[in-house]
Structure 1
Amino acid sequence: MKHLLNLLAAIALLVWGTHLVRTGVLRVFGANLRRILARSMGNRFTAALSGIGVTALVQSSTATSLMTSSFVGQGLITLPAALAVMRGADVGTALMSVFFSFDLSWLSPLFIFVGVVLFLSRQDATVGRIGRVLIGLGLMLLALRLVVDATEPLVAAPAVRALLSSLGSDVLLEITVGAVLAVAAYSSLAVVLLIAALAAASAVPLDVALGLVLGANLGSGLLAVLTTAKSPVEVRQVTVGNLFFKLLGVALLAPCIGLWLRHVQPMLADATSTVVLFHLAFNVAISLGFIGLTQLVARGVQKLLPKPEQPPSQMRLQHLDPSALSTPSLAISCAAREAMHQADVVETMLNGVLTVIKTNDLRLAEELRKMDDSVDELYSSIKYYLTKISREALAEEESRRWTDIISFTINMEQIGDIIERVLIDIEDKKIKKDRSFSEAGMAEITELHARLLDNLRLGMSVFLNGTVRDAQKLLEEKARFRDLERAYASTHLARLSDNTVQSIETSSLHIDLISDLKRINSHICSIAYPILDSAGALAPNRLRQPALAEQAER
């Protein structure tokens, strides 16, 4: 039992080390890796090369698959190009398994020591995240040695020998077991390295080990399909197409295990080399052999998983892609795009308010009020999506962006609520009572509304681009709007003094309306605060200074 627990702990350490490397690399280079993938789609060969490079860094073809699938879901790349990337991604994983197969155990304590020092010294900086990667690499190398040490006494047990010998009678069973291990470990790389270590310790025969390797390759494709099961069709097309290539490759090369053992294995130094080089040869063979079939497979997958037809009113790209959550920088971009759509809905509502005031259109007022439900749903969806992004996996800039998106969506949701209440007031106090604003009052409302729309569009630009100059301009508009609201309130009171009938009838609505427009403007202008705060451009709190002076006098 003790030896079994040691083996399980070593396997868990191997999987955890792989996870640390993957997440650490994505934190440091996530945005750059996305740009590399997006820019390399000119032809299938450059796309495959980018897949090799990205996967070699993140230590996971599954992570590359999810990243690429997200691009397809957002319409940034085509399905054939994504399938070409995946052909390279599998080769990248195989190359890393060859690298880790060398005796690098002497590097393990060095990587762990240096990684811990860097991580503890500056956790939130790039140096700390590089330290996290080094810790992961050190743990992987340590885990591989522990697997070998734990396997030797375990294999000596008769029961274990009987269990392992049962695998050697059925290639299909070996492939199934390998696939299950890859799905459970969330890493085909970790499983292939484990199989190589077991083969080196004579825990499994070589023919069984090669069958398990085929299963691990198949499992990585199945894992990506399971991870994107609830994603849009465009995303699932990538993972299903990649799984098809793996199924075809396993079916064609499984009979070649005997040929590999008979003709290639005698030329290799040890069992570890036999396993990892077979893994590499398998992926190179199916990548080179099938890269010309990406267009054909893409058409087949599109027929198998056609895009559902939607009525024109519902045809909108949903940006909150679940498969992007494994790449925090990509998920942040998805949330920002959905937040911009929420702002577009708010702009439509705000734009329609003036039309309702001028035309007394009850039907339009009802439609605009219903749009507030969409704003609330978008807010809830974005907030829930962001909570699924690990804050620990975010770089400092991405963490700040996470906060900005939350703040922006809250402001948009509150603006929607204010607009809904304004529309209800207009219906009850103006339309149903058949009242009208005075000509001067209507001009004031129109002026405030126009400024408000301009400020909303400027606020959306500030959120999207984070320009300090625009943020300062937006904050200046807050003071101008406040002064304008006070001036119009005063002129309205002057009209009441002149006994203007229309002003008297709509006085309550007029005062409430310009006050609500000022509140909306305050929410819009608050978009600028995080930008200016991070740039150190916020002026000192004017309320705090007199209080400090008063305390000093005391």
Structure 2
Amino acid sequence: MLQIIAELCGGVGLFLIGMTLLTDSLKSIAGNTLKALLTKFTANKFKAMLSGIGLTILVNSSTATTVATIGFVSAGALTFAQAIGIIIGANIGTTSTGWLVAFVGLKFSISMFALPLIALGAIIKLLCKDRLALFGLVIAGFGLIFYGIDVLQAAMAGFSEQSDFTLLAYSGFWSKILLVLIGVVMAMVLQSSTAAITATMAALASGAVDFPQALFMVIGQNVGAVSITVLSVIGASINAKRTVAVNVIFNLVSAAVAFILLAPAFIALTQQVAYFQDFDAVILLAIFHTAFSLMGAAIFMPMIKQLEAFVIRILPDDSPSILACLDETSLQVPSAALQSARQVVHYCLFEIFSILRLLIKEGILPKQKQLDELDQVIAQVEEYLEKIALVGHSELKKSFLALLRVMIYVRVLRSDLEHMEYGCLLRTQPMVYQLALDYVHIIDNYMEYGMNLTDLELISHLRDELNNLKKWTSNHRAEIRLKLMEYSEVHQLSAAKGLELLAAQRWMDRLIAHSYRFSNVLYESIDEGH
């Protein structure tokens, strides 16, 4: 018996390692495909659902799809309503693994092919780089998955000979509940509903459990999958919690309806209809698993708006903050994390330019609380950028480095705010003040909050106008300085006051120069991305 348990654990372990290799490598190969699928093909709820199905099949993981969705909702690239459609689709897409196991993994003894696949994948990983190396891990992952299934099936065959599951009959209500709870525990222990369902399929194929028992265990495994996502968002942003709440509601309601209606219907079909009595039980289980998710989609797709309103009501956002974008779960999808960080960096820029606008036009200094909050956001986004891992994501490295360069100028422009008193002082000097107003006029035209700072043409115009202003200040610097000195003499200002006026002029010159360099860096980063 101990040997059988060891084989069971080993089979599950091989399967999980294979799934991890396969999923992580496919996510890396997909790169910006994650973003493209989730942001371009979600115009309506049905397209959002289809995107969720397609992406989950692509990366072989509903968790990866959920995490990516959370990240892009946090970054503002997706609405919460779009996210609901994607989550529903992800639950349907994840059933594809069950079909693969039913038709391939349990129909043939493929261990003799699985081991060469593992070897081939390892060789490609060692000899190649970038995407080819990742493709090697995909091949090795497939090999490990099927080898793990083969080990698991053999162990289940031995387990069925030495175990008696007649106590887990499905005739009574509490027996069904017990089977569901077993499924929940399996998914929680294995941290994967796919692995738990695969183990159930292997048990069914070997006779360790019968078809009705397997149905109720699968219901429990879908519920158990919810606990994995719930644990992943403890302490996460409100957007992450809302997205996971949708997943929880979807799975719990679907499980309840499947328990009451769908499972009894499938049992009745296999017991009373001759055609289904001869049907392969493992394939019927895969059909049930898909029907489970399709039924949930049929329930929730017509009422997405109501579901959205309900989730927002039970999880209100009491403290709206740009820091909600910096969701830790998004770090698992670098393209989502990068977009989240970019949005926060742009927010910092808009905040700095808003402060400068009020300072120069109205003479209003910001409150210390506003500056402290800005410093907190800058510090948080810098920490977040340090956590973004881009191993195997060479196509994102340019964008990442470009964002770091922009971040440097966020810091430079923030340091210019340390001498904001000069902004009030230059308002007393018509010539310098006109220069400051020209600067603010340019900022007003191009740096309104919500504008697209990835628009090449927009940033090109901003750069040209700031460059022209910078050239003008360089050409007239001596003239302005002379007029300031004359003003000091005529009005008999103290030497200290005269020096302050000259310092205010230098501050304005630096601010224009720094803003131009920032626009130039932003332009170059967008141009490289194109």
Alpha-carbon spacing, 1:45–1:424, altered in 2? closer, same or farther (3 Å):
closer
Cα 1:147–1:471 shift into 2, 3 Å: farther
Structure 2 Cα separation of the partners of residues 456 and 180 of structure 1: 58
Shift of 1:343: 0.6
- Report the secondary structure of 2:104's partner residue: coil
Indicate if the aligned counterparts of 1:21 and 1:132 stay in contact, CA closer than 8 A: yes
The residue correspondences of 1:256-405 to structure 2 (distance < 5 A) are: 256=263, 258-259=267-268, 262-263=271-272, 266-269=277-280, 272-288=282-298, 291-303=301-313, 305=314, 307-308=316-317, 318-355=324-361, 359=363, 364-367=364-367, 369-392=368-391, 395-405=393-403
For residue 283 of structure 1, what is the amino acid of its counterpart?
S
Confirm or deny: 8 A CA contact 1:468 1:532 kept in the other structure. no
Q: Deviations over 1:208-236 (max 9, x none)?
A: 43322111111233433443454555554
Contact persistence 1:21–1:59 (CA under 8 A): yes
Is 1:57 the counterpart of 2:58? The answer is yes
Aligned residue number for residue 145 of structure 1: 150
Q: In 2, Cα distance between the equivalents of 1:494 and 1:51?
A: 66
Deviates more, 1:445-454 or 1:130-139: 445-454
Q: Secondary structure at the match of 1:354?
A: helix
- 1:481 matched to 2:470? The reply is yes
- What root-mean-square deviation, in Å, do the aligned CA atoms of Structure 1 and Structure 2 show? 4.4
Partner of residue 182, structure 1: 187
**TM-score normalised by length of structure 2:** 0.78
Q: Is the 8 A contact 2:238 2:315 kept in 1?
A: yes
SS in 2 for 1:53: helix
The DSSP-based 3-state class of the residue aligned with 2:316 is: coil
Aligned CA distance change for structure 1 residues 135 and 348 (closer, same or farther; 3 Å):
same
1:25 and 1:123 map into 2 onto residues whose CA distance is 15
Equivalent-residue separation in structure 2 for 1:462 and 1:237 (angstroms): 27
1:240 aligns with 2:238: no
Per-residue CA distance 1:139-167 (angstroms, 9 max, x = gap): 222222232344555666x6xx37x6765
Equivalent residue, structure 2, for 1:215: 220
What is the TM-score when the length of structure 1 is the normalising length?
0.75
Q: Unpaired segments of 5 or more residues in structure 2? A: none
2:203 corresponds in structure 1 to 198
Question: Within 1, Cα distance between the matches of 2:120 and 2:445?
Answer: 49
Q: Give the Å deviation of 1:405.
A: 2.8
Q: Is the 8 A contact 2:48 2:85 kept in 1?
A: yes
CA contact (8 A) 2:355 2:366 kept: no
2:29 and 2:259 map into 1 onto residues whose CA distance is: 39
Contact kept, 8 Å, 1:449 with 1:517, in 2: the verdict is no
1:55 Cα deviation from its structure 2 partner: 1.6
Q: Distance in 2 between matches of 1:299 and 1:513?
A: 52
Aligned amino acid, residue 349 of structure 1: I
Q: Aligned pair in 2 of structure 1 residues 472, 238: CA closer, same or farther (>3 Å)?
A: closer
Matches of 1:533 and 1:291 in 2, distance apart?
40
> Quick check: 1:372–1:416 contact (8 Å CA) kept in 2?
no
Give the counterpart letter for 2:407 in structure 1: T
> C-alpha distance in 2, partners of 1:122/1:450?
55
**Amino acid aligned to 2:360:** L
CA gap of 1:475–1:75, structure 2 versus 1, over 3 A, is closer
Q: Percent identity?
A: 20
User: Matched residue pairs, number?
Assistant: 509
Q: Name the SS for the 1:506 alignment partner.
A: helix
Shift of 1:467: 4.3
Secondary structure at the counterpart of residue 365 of structure 1: coil
Structure-2 residue corresponding to 1:513: 504
